[in-house]
Structure 1
Amino acid sequence: MNIPTTMTAARMHAVGSAMKIETLEMPKPGDMDVLVRVKACGIVPNLHNILANWPTWFPHMPQPPLPAVFGLDPAGEIAAVGKGVRGLKSGDRVYVNPGRSCGTCRHCRHGDHISCRHYAFQGYFGFSTEALQTFDDYPIGGLSEYMVAPASAIVTIPDNMTFDQAARLGYMGTAYSALKKVKAGPGDTILVNGVSGTLGIGGVVFGLALGVNKILGTGRDRKLLEEIKALAPNRIEVFSIDDGSVTDFAHAHTDGEGVDAFIDCLGPGAKQETFLQGLRGLRRGGIAVDIGAVAGDVPIDIHWLMDHNQRLYGSAWFTAQEGQEMADMVASGVADFSILETQSFPLADVNTAISGIAQRHGGFSNYVIHP
């Protein structure tokens, strides 16, 4: 692949300001890195808030030093590989998992990269001040023509998966990792709060693919809920939280026992009570995973959790291995990304795309930038 000496990228120079389209020097991969020609980069519903308010809301979780190239979910083709890379080659179609860790701490050596103190999302934000070193190592996100990433972060994607679909793997993968944590599978009934949103749809796609018996989904928008149910009418039941208690809904579909697992996808603006009702919808021994981050200090009855032998996890992202599993499930046909409705924009229109993403068709909408 012919690699130019410069590239075009969108950079933000001040918090909350519009991104500027600029020409930058071509980044060079290290020995264990790959250079990726970005074909599509996903943008998520909360990106405008992330860019404008993150330093105020979460000052302990730094963003890349400005000026910075953001972009969380890139997909494209490998343009070049470092001399130590094996198993990947120029021309491979790939998704880049943006999760970065130091690779050498005791957590990384145990394979638990997400627990690394240096863990950060390339082109997005970090989880502690130690992440600043990670941004120094990998400073360029996906809103650019090219980017460098470690070979260990690469997910190869099949021919039946478009780059636009692959650019949604991040949020689909967040739900998939939650399902893996609860060991969701045949015979299980799972409850997904916020089922029609960006995270919730991932719970549906991969819940069905993993063979769960029944998916119980909650939300507000009745039209979106019916569209979710139509994906698998015999395996999905939906419920509007305006119609009553999520707990009662869960018990009504499990003969009063409760669900095997509860995946909460509700974001910071959602009611805490809905999350708490979901917890009370668990069976004895059930597992809850939060991936939406309902805001504030939530009053949880620890005695209840103990007495009922229940577990509550927080799950931040997914591993490259889990990313590869998802891509392989799409390749085999058991996971269907065709439900996504892509709206694409050229890199020059990135600011328009970010400001207009609130006008979307729930989690079905898939906003991407084509650098």
Structure 2
Amino acid sequence: MLAAVLYGKEDLRLEQIATPVPAPGEVVIRVGAATTCGTDLKVWRRGGHAKMLKPPTPFGHEAAGTIAAVGEGVTGWQVGDRVVANNSAPCMTCFFCQKQEYSLCTHLSFNNGTFAEYLKIPAPIVQHNLLHIPDHLSDALAAMTEPLACVLHGAARSNVKPSDRVALLGDGAIGLMFAGELVRQGAEVFLFGGSDRRLEIGEQFGVAKTFNYHRLADIPAQVKALTDGWGADVVIEATGLPAVWEMAIACARPGATVNLFGGCPRDTTITVSTEQLHYSELTLKGVFHSTPQYVRAALELLASGTLPFKLLISDHQPLKNLEQVFYDMRDRKVIKVAMQP
């Protein structure tokens, strides 16, 4: 079968590899759509990921499709079922899983390789994070379950209350998903990004105001001007840049929660004012990944049609065009692209 393999920084190759066969407890799906993601873009540019993979490795982690083969001992699933598989599953037995902190599981089973004709789903994911796709939901939209689950987890950890004023830094797919979810929770969202076209999509998700940072001299000053001089109740960073992490803290009012959601490059650091952190009683949070609860909630939200997530899919392309799609993502010409084998 045709599959994408990542060998290093911006070294992505399409190769013919063996079609997977399910071991006991596993299933194999025929991929209907695999969506590109900002995390994939970062991994492609950096040549790896601190948690999920090390090259050379099959590439991609968002996919939906149809079960093509079922391994021995699998119950409740059959060939022909339309499914979406999350890219990981917790072990359910470790220290953190016993505390229901599943995103911190020390034995998370990650799965990569969605940019391919077929994808094998490991047994833990079959058991905990394989879901039926509602008939009316397209594979492309269903494939967005994984990133939306991460966003729902992040939003839940952000202490957002109705009518809170939220500064959201980043207009990528994750930032725009956050915009929709926070508006759905009743927050007044100020979205900062670098693309007028993406900011317009943010407006369609219901944000109160948008700002192109290319035309702003001082983002924290702008946030304070919008909030009676105090700063935002909640700040969410969705770019994965250390300088923006520091900017997010500068946008916060005393007593605020700052969600440092975007994953930065390995071994990077930021500087935090101990005076501000202590005397302003800031809550700084790093939030990673998702849990089975939010995987299910994400698919339900996508199926509900409550928010216009289809606006995030810029294009549909055949798998053979994958490398060019990543160049287009790097140049911010597209948001998410549904790759179709």
Q: Fold match, TM over 0.5?
A: yes
* 1:36 Cα offset (Å): 2.4
> Which secondary structure does the structure 2 equivalent of 1:345 belong to?
strand
CA distance in 2, matches of 1:148, 1:294: 28
Q: Is the 8 A contact 1:99 1:114 kept in 2?
A: no
The amino acid of 2:97's aligned partner reads: C
CA 1:293–1:282 in 2, change beyond 3 Å: closer, same or farther?
same
The alignment's TM-score, normalised by the length of structure 2, stands at: 0.84
CA drift at 1:229: 2.5
Whether 2:174 is the aligned partner of 1:180: answer: no
Partner in structure 2 of residue 63 of structure 1: 53
- Offset at 1:332? 2.8
Measured in 2, the distance between the counterparts of 1:193 and 1:49 equals 17
Structure 1 CA distance for aligned equivalents of residues 195 and 45 of structure 2: 28
Q: CA deviation at 1:46?
A: 5.9
Q: How many residues align?
A: 334
1:1-371 aligned within 5 A: 8-12=1-5, 14-15=7-8, 17-31=11-25, 33-45=26-38, 47=40, 50-51=43-44, 53-54=46-47, 63-64=53-54, 66=56, 68-81=57-70, 88-119=77-108, 121-123=110-112, 140-149=113-122, 150-151=125-126, 152-194=128-170, 196-212=171-187, 214-232=188-206, 235-241=207-213, 242-268=215-241, 272=243, 274-294=244-264, 296-361=268-333, 365-371=335-341
Q: Deviations over 1:18-53 (max 9, x none)?
A: 42331414321433x433222111223564662464
Greater Cα offset, 158-167 or 223-232: 223-232
Q: 1:28 to 1:71 in 2, by over 3 A?
A: same
Q: Is the 8 A contact 2:223 2:251 kept in 1?
A: yes
Indicate conservation of the 8 Å contact 2:23/2:72, yes or no: no
Aligned equivalents of 1:20, 1:220: Cα separation in 2 = 32
Distance 1:294 1:23 in 2: 32
Question: 1:343 is aligned with what amino acid?
Answer: D
Equivalents in 1 of 2:204, 2:51: separation in Å? Answer: 40
Q: CA deviation at 1:145?
A: 1.8
C-alpha spacing 1:81/1:104, structure 2 compared with 1 (3 Å): farther
Are the structure 2 counterparts of residues 246 and 192 from structure 1 closer, same or farther at C-alpha, using a change threshold of 3 Å? same
Task: Extract unaligned runs of 5+ from structure 1.
Answer: 1-7, 124-139
CA distance, structure 2, for counterparts of residue 221 and residue 348 of structure 1: 28
Question: 85-94 or 110-119, which moves further after superposition?
Answer: 85-94
Tell me how far apart the structure 1 counterparts of residues 60 and 197 of structure 2 sit (CA, whole Å): 31
Residues 1:26 and 1:99: Cα distance change in structure 2 (over 3 Å): closer
SS across alignment from 1:30: coil
Unpaired runs of 5+ in structure 2? none
Aligned match of 1:126: none
Rate the CA distance shift 1:103–1:301 in 2: closer, same or farther, 3 A: same
Q: Deviations over 1:312-339 (max 9, x none)?
A: 1112211232121122123333232122
RMSD of aligned alpha carbons: 3.0
Contact 1:186 1:211 in 2 (8 A): yes
The 8 Å contact of residues 156 and 324 in structure 1, kept in 2 or not, is answered as: no
TM-score normalised by L of structure 1: 0.78
Please say if residues 6 and 44 of structure 2, whose CA atoms lie closer than 8 Å, have aligned partners that are also in contact. no
Percent sequence identity over aligned pairs: 21
SS state of the match for residue 339, structure 1?
helix
CA shift digits 1:217-236 (9 cap, x unpaired): 1123345434423543xx42
CA–CA distance in structure 2, aligned partners of residues 113 and 106 of structure 1: 10
